Structure 1
Amino acid sequence: MEVYKNISDLRVGIILLEDVFANTKYPIMRKNTELSFEHIEVLRDFGLKRIKVEERVAKKELSEVDQNAPVNPEDILENIPMNQYLLRKQYTDAVRAYEKEFSNWRAGIKPDIVKVREFIVPLVEQYTKQKDMLGMLNEFSIPEDYLYHHSVAVGILSAAISNQMGMDKGEVLQLGLAGALADCGMAKIDPTILRKTAFLTKEEYNEVKKHTLFSLKMIQDTPLLRQEMKMAILQHHERLDGSGYPRGDRMDAISVHSQIIAVADVFHAMTTERLYRPKNSPFKVIEMIKEEEFGKFDLKVVEALHKLIGHLSIGTRVKLTDGELGEIMFVHRDAPLRPMVKKKSNGMMIDLTTNRNLAIAKILD
């Protein structure tokens, strides 16, 4: 019998009759999921009140569930451990907290760095431990709330990159906080520009470019950010070849901290769905940063991101940008992002170094 049950009344073995969303773009649990103790705990943690279930309890006990049953690679959240479900919830809570703070800044209230630190620092600490979740950040973002997702994700990625580069914990956490605050100056930009679903005019783009100056002004008096982090916030759109803004700084005039936030910013922006364009493959974006944007970014920073997000090995199951599933059979030393892949559908071997119209979309393992 189909019923709506309060979360407090759920029992192990009850079956979901519809996908469960929690203010998320993707469901946190799929229809026909047989609830375990951990599932019920996650539903409570997400603050859900009632869900649609089948009244009967599944015949199989939880201990009898076939652990070797085939996994649907599209079920992103269902295939990860429960501690990662909770990390996703922590991320979502941080996005909502950032949105609330951003509304205050838009109303003219000075940033409360203590509050931002309270939800950003624990989050970046967890993500630097669970690196396998970094590749999923672009899946979490919702186009309508892009700005809030982007700021939180840039904080996470900045911390992860600096950690990968061997920086000490204090520096890592400072970069996580600076990355999250880099776009706080967007609160001073006309909201109609930020909500546009088409590309910006030159005049609108010039207006948006002022946000780095606004960001610095908003945080320059806080003692909770080191001076080099404040400079990184100002410079996170500068490029080594002098093509960036606001000052057109070049080479050694741009700090490594600025470059870390810059790479995190560009990577998340290009891999995330926006109101005016679809998302790109993370592997394709790393390749573009390395090749098409060569000379703009510190290669040590880009390589650290590559090791975090784009490390591919023989036997890894992947999804290609045309939707085909496959397995990596060979990784080229000089083109590690473009391996040879054996297609699952027909066993055909595809060499991505010669098939430039294709790329790895995601890792399925």
Structure 2
Amino acid sequence: MYNVSVLNVKPGSKLTKDVFTPLGALLFHKETILLARDLDILRAFLVDYVEIQEVGDKGIQAKDILANKDTTLTADKLVVNAPSISENERSSFVKEYERMVNLTKNGYSSVLAAGIPIYEIRNQLERMVSHIKEYHILSFTPCILNDYDYIYHNAVLCALSSYKLAQWCGLPQKDWLQAAFAGLFHDIGKIKVDPAVLYKPSTLTTDEIKEMRQHTKYGYQILKNVTGINEGVRLSALQHHEKVDGTGYPMNVESSKIHIYAKMVGIVDIFHAMTLNKVYRLGQSPYLVLEQIHAESFGKLDPELVQVFIKRVTEFHNGTVVRLSSDQIGEIVFSNSNNPTRPMVSINGDIINLEQSRHLYIEEIVDTDGQL
């Protein structure tokens, strides 16, 4: 065991004692084998000395150093990276996603004449969520070729994200698929809205806004007699634009009267609506959208659900490649759980702390394998 100046620590050294920031947040756990970027983090946090067991001492092997590449730290815990996804697994998720979008599109189109093909949709939804571990909310970006397909992509993405949020917030397993149904059907009432209003690229008039807002009531009416879904799914179609302070629509109800599915869908719908690309408007940075959602949690969205959503979707690992608003490409090297949308990013060896550099933000996750 050696108490060594950080300036003299070499990559591959193994910590024999936990390392904390000057403010007391856990930075690295005991037994961590330090990589080169970890040394940058130590210096960035002004840590002067660490206790280490140097490479070559008993117990440190090359395999340990390699294993350490699959771990990362947030400010409060150690997170182990998921194993890499094979090409077959990844393509399976994409394939099921595309099938779900097409089935949703066909189902929405025929609902007024033939009703919802609920059993076919349920079977496909189950097949898609069986690959849920391959779905990463911040980095999965479908390519929408036209605005008419936007509603179907938004529906399927809200289904996936609602399923995950139901898991994350501790709902019983029986609710997970129903929460996914809530996300999938939340905008089904829009099929009864005048297409000239629904797809209008410019600002809506007062009368057009009133018509658009009717989609919540239309949706509840469409789902009212559908079997295989519970009342929470129907209420999500009605209530996903309600706000916890009673300022939403269509009923202006307050938090205690809004179903939890509707609260979850309200969060993920805002996220996907703002990040998806449209012909007349490019999607916004998912990190900026998360910051806006956080701001909305003060009186508009359920604050506990927002906190869970932001915390879990930003749990990326060391080495995640991102593009900043300055067009610089770098790697996330440290994420503070108190401000997860503004991690520390390493760019060509320089550490940029986005908590301090407020003029910068993460524009996107650079992950071509996660795009369609």
Provide the TM-score with structure 1 as the length reference. Answer: 0.71
Partner of 1:311: 315
Asked whether 1:134 is paired with 2:142, we answer: no
Partner of 2:97: 91
Match of 2:207 among 203, 225, 244: 203
SS at match of 2:331: strand
Partner of 1:15: none
- 2:285 and 2:364 in contact (8 A); partners too: yes
Q: In the alignment, residue 307 of structure 2 is paired with which amino acid?
A: E
Higher RCO (C-alpha under 8 Å, 6+ residues apart) = 2
Going from structure 1 to structure 2, the CA distance change for 1:153 and 1:221 (only over 3 Å counts) comes to same
SS at match of 2:364: strand
Going from structure 1 to structure 2, the CA distance change for 1:307 and 1:141 (only over 3 Å counts) comes to farther
**1:161-200 paired onto structure 2 within 5 Å:** 161-200=165-204
Asked whether 1:113 is paired with 2:115, we answer: no
Structure 1 CA distance for aligned equivalents of residues 138 and 88 of structure 2: 17
Report which stretch shifted further, 218-227 or 315-324: 315-324
Structure 1 CA distance for aligned equivalents of residues 143 and 166 of structure 2: 22
Deviations 1:317-348, CA, capped at 9 Å, x for gaps: 3221332111234434532211222223xx44
Q: Gaps spanning 5+ residues in structure 1: where? A: 1-78
- 2:311 and 2:340 in contact (8 A); partners too: no
Deviations 1:117-171, CA, capped at 9 Å, x for gaps: 23223213322x334x333443444442101111111111111110112222220
TM superposition shift of 1:185 = 0.8
Q: In the alignment, residue 97 of structure 2 is paired with which amino acid?
A: Y
Report which stretch shifted further, 287-296 or 96-105: 287-296
- Structure of higher CA gyration radius: 2
TM superposition shift of 1:239 = 0.8
> What is the root-mean-square deviation of aligned Cα atoms in Å?
2.2
Match of 1:295 among 292, 295, 299: 299
What is the number of equivalent residue pairs in this alignment? 282
Provide the TM-score with structure 2 as the length reference. Answer: 0.70
Partner of 2:258: 254
Report which stretch shifted further, 259-268 or 80-89: 80-89
Partner of 2:362: 360
Going from structure 1 to structure 2, the CA distance change for 1:125 and 1:200 (only over 3 Å counts) comes to farther
What is the percent sequence identity of the aligned residues? 30
- 1:238 and 1:246 in contact (8 A); partners too: yes
- 1:340 and 1:351 in contact (8 A); partners too: yes
Q: Gaps spanning 5+ residues in structure 2: where? A: 1-84, 368-372
TM superposition shift of 1:364 = 4.0
Q: Which runs of 4+ in 1 moved over 6 A?
A: none
Going from structure 1 to structure 2, the CA distance change for 1:330 and 1:94 (only over 3 Å counts) comes to closer
